[in-house]
Chains A and B, each alone.
Chain A
Amino acid sequence: DTEVTQTPKHLVMGMTNKKSLKCEQHMGHRAMYWYKQKAKKPPELMFVYSYEKLSINESVPSRFSPECPNSSLLNLHLHALQPEDSALYLCASSQVAGASPVVLGRTDTQYFGPGTRLTVL
């Protein structure tokens, strides 16, 4: 099974709302990612968790708060978003490979979920 699931598929929220995006994988992958993708642009990395610890935060505003409760789940908590945050949010997972996996951060095939289409009004 190479499936990454994401819920919800679509989300519309106001600027004062609090919502969460969820991602799940059961492939035993120890790296999980959040990407943001605007129309006709490539995905932009937001966060990476490795072995349930935050490894990368690409200077993402604090209104986005990631959480990795266990090795299969990844959440993205949203609060006080802006209209420009409207985008497709993609979750991905991969194996961590090679010697010194946490130090080197080398990963194999990334598997992506279908995404959550977020609209902020």
Chain B
Amino acid sequence: KQEVTQIPAALSVPEGENLVLNCSFTDSAIYNLQWFRQDPGKGLTSLLLIQSSQREQTSGRLNASLDKSSGRSTLYIAASQPGDSATYLCAVNTGGFKTIFGAGTRLFVKA
């Protein structure tokens, strides 16, 4: 059974710091991995999707990497800003229309 774990559960950093969020999964047989952002009480916003054949994807200050063989993905946020404060979720698509979510990392960027 696929399990997705995110570390740390919560993170507080000063503005301007570069940071890394971690996601690990137990079964490497994934189709893709997606990173989301969620603000309190809101829906999920898709940030990046990495196909299983890819190693990384970039969008602006965000860079996501995928190492399928070791069951790990990282989300790198450069030059963090207070507006980046949110919960970040990773999710793996294993096929069969199922997406398994991690519990998320709550990020707080202090001004």
Chain A residues packing against B (C-beta within 8 Å): 4, 6, 31, 33, 41-43, 45, 48, 50, 55-56, 88, 90, 92, 97-98, 104-115, 117
Chain B residues packing against A (C-beta within 8 Å): 31-32, 34, 36, 41-46, 49, 89, 91, 93, 95-99, 101-104
Is the beta-carbon distance between A105 and B41 smaller than 8 angstroms? no
Is the beta-carbon distance between A110 and B34 smaller than 8 angstroms? yes
Q: Which residue of A lies closest to B49 (CB)?
A: A109
Given known pairs A41-B103, A90-B43, the reply for A50 and B97 (CB within 8 Å) is yes
Is the beta-carbon distance between A112 and B97 smaller than 8 angstroms? no
Is the beta-carbon distance between A104 and B95 smaller than 8 angstroms? yes
- 27 contacting pairs across A/B (C-beta < 8 A): A4-B43, A42-B104, A43-B101, A45-B99, A48-B98, A55-B97, A56-B97, A56-B98, A90-B43, A97-B31, A104-B95, A105-B96, A106-B95, A107-B31, A107-B99, A108-B32, A109-B34, A109-B46, A110-B34, A110-B44, A110-B91, A112-B45, A112-B46, A114-B42, A115-B42, A115-B43, A117-B41
Distance in angstroms between the alpha carbons of A48 and B49 in the assembled complex: 20
Distance in angstroms between the alpha carbons of A4 and B46 in the assembled complex: 12
Distance in angstroms between the alpha carbons of A98 and B49 in the assembled complex: 16
Q: Which residues of B contact A98 (CB under 8 A)?
A: 31
Q: Which residues of A contact B98 (CB under 8 A)?
A: 45, 48, 56, 105
Q: Which residue of A lies closest to B90 (CB)?
A: A42
Distance in angstroms between the alpha carbons of A112 and B101 in the assembled complex: 14
Other than the given A104-B95, A110-B44, 15 more pairs (CB < 8 A) read A41-B103, A43-B44, A48-B98, A88-B41, A90-B43, A105-B95, A106-B93, A107-B31, A107-B93, A107-B99, A108-B32, A109-B49, A110-B46, A110-B91, A115-B42
Distance in angstroms between the alpha carbons of A110 and B34 in the assembled complex: 8
Distance in angstroms between the alpha carbons of A10 and B41 in the assembled complex: 11
Q: Which residues of A contact B96 (CB under 8 A)?
A: 56, 104-105
Q: Which residues of A contact B103 (CB under 8 A)?
A: 41-42
Given known pairs A42-B102, A42-B103, the reply for A114 and B43 (CB within 8 Å) is yes
Distance in angstroms between the alpha carbons of A112 and B44 in the assembled complex: 6
Q: Which residue of B lies closest to A41 (CB)?
A: B103
